[in-house]
Structure 1
């Protein structure tokens, strides 16, 4: 039923939108960036493999070409690990509301890159959306109070959006061949390996410094904002199709802004709110323009973050 599909997409967007708030709360309880990343993906990978096993998908793994298995692991180990690393490093320096808006420029980046690569035409709709997103981004950044805009944090947030865009475009091939939950399990496993090794080598993996409450927030990131949000998104996608799912997913940064205001007292200026409206409008214009039929199992978006993201037969990150 479409109503249930919309509800699932809204819950998914809310789960993704809450990730920055959970991360901030985990930092307050002793979690470092390295600890958060390692624990998040290790727990998420474990939960994904449990779901894969319980749904009977595990037996299909042996039928997947080794090349696709290695590619999926590599996407997690390098692409998604880099995006998540940049995002949570930025979260340590920026307000969660501002970071959510910086990250949410990625749908426009993907549309522009897809046109540049010849995958889509650079239509007036895409140009208008790009212009609105750029103007909105200027208002979002320029409207920040003096001293509130950390340069390195801003650069990391934009880097996360750029890396995520590249991830989506790179993963579109394998995502069309693999079951979404199986792909998510492989991506999460690759990311968990890389981020755990990086945390050990840099000395930033400090699980003993995290309080019991901190582990609760880390669990919320893994269960609610990763596995739960991704699973709900796929459930909604199958009921309403990629166009509606893309539009409904713009609720994600709205959730982040609302929760950040309620929990941390963060607020956006009038100029920033106007800019946020332009960015979200650009994303909605891109979604409305894609009149795709209801997707088959291979018509996937990408998991995360932040994360939809439907570019022709795009995929979903873990």
Structure 2
């Protein structure tokens, strides 16, 4: 449970780091490519350090698992991240968080439809509580751009599929190794894509821009992804998704602290509902 909560908090800082990087010269392509290039390097460094302790070398893994993890990065995580950061300049961070966090409902319904989990009454209440809380927390965050809304909802759908597919391999591979492979796949796909469309422009970044990208890679990618995989292997996709709903709450709080955005009474009530959902998801 705590792995999922910590992952949600780390992911919650992502939108703030992204907006700060955009303000310091980052394009969408530059942000995505450098984020995952930095993150994959950090993951492989960490994997080399702990491989002896974990007893799991890359060369001992099943080839299909390695290819699946790389594919999850190149075809799943890269696409979800691209959709998310393409939407971020168009709509407020809070609104985007709400749109993306329709994914717990999508995951829950899909997991039941696939026969993987049983949707208990307590879990239904948790889903309803988290959804209502998110509406209150971020529902009044600003106007809606149609393209931004479409990109945010598409990111939710892609992320739902990514979670369901990654659950099986997460149980056969250490979180650190899986995260390294996923980020490597994403880094390759996003870097090539950014170069091809002329969006890879690291020379336009200020010193502060490089710093925010390093924060994005270290906090909202390396820490967030590793913690999520560790939690996913322990609690399953539906519970992990519900616990992760702390992410938009963290986003709103950080946006208030950094940009001065107000939360209001509705935000406080929404936060209470999100916390209630987290507590319900523990059982």
TM-score class, shorter-chain normalisation, is 0.7 to 0.9
SS of alignment partner, residue 93 of structure 1: coil
CA-to-partner distance for each residue in 1:86-118, whole Å, 9 max, x for gaps? 111111112223322332332232112111111
Aligned pairs, how many?
278
Q: Trace 1:220-235 onto structure 2 (pairs within 5 A).
A: 220-231=215-226
Aligned CA RMSD, in angstroms, stands at: 3.1
C-alpha contact 1:144 1:272 (8 A) present in aligned 2:
no
Could you tell me which of 79, 90, 93 is aligned with 2:90?
Answer: 93
Please state if 1:109 is matched with 2:103.
Answer: no
Could you say if the C-alpha distance between residues 139 and 167 of structure 1 is closer, same or farther in structure 2, counting changes exceeding 3 Å? same
**Which sections of structure 2, spanning at least 5 residues, go unmatched?**
none
Could you tell me which of 60, 66, 70 is aligned with 2:67?
Answer: 70
Shift of 1:46: 0.4
Higher relative contact order, chain-length normalized (CA < 8 Å, sep 6+):
2
Match of 1:174 in 2: 169
Match of 2:197 in 1: 202
Please state if 1:54 is matched with 2:49.
Answer: yes
CA–CA distance in structure 2, aligned partners of residues 142 and 183 of structure 1: 35
CA–CA distance in structure 2, aligned partners of residues 165 and 222 of structure 1: 22
SS of alignment partner, residue 55 of structure 1: helix
Match of 2:282 in 1: 288
Greater mean alpha carbon deviation, residues 275-284 or residues 9-18: 275-284
With the length of structure 2 as denominator, give the TM-score of the two structures: 0.84
With the length of structure 1 as denominator, give the TM-score of the two structures: 0.76
CA-to-partner distance for each residue in 1:145-197, whole Å, 9 max, x for gaps? 5xx22222122222222211110101111111111100100000000001111
CA–CA distance in structure 2, aligned partners of residues 119 and 53 of structure 1: 34
Could you tell me which of 36, 40, 47 is aligned with 1:45?
Answer: 40
Shift of 1:215: 0.6
**Which sections of structure 1, spanning at least 5 residues, go unmatched?**
290-318
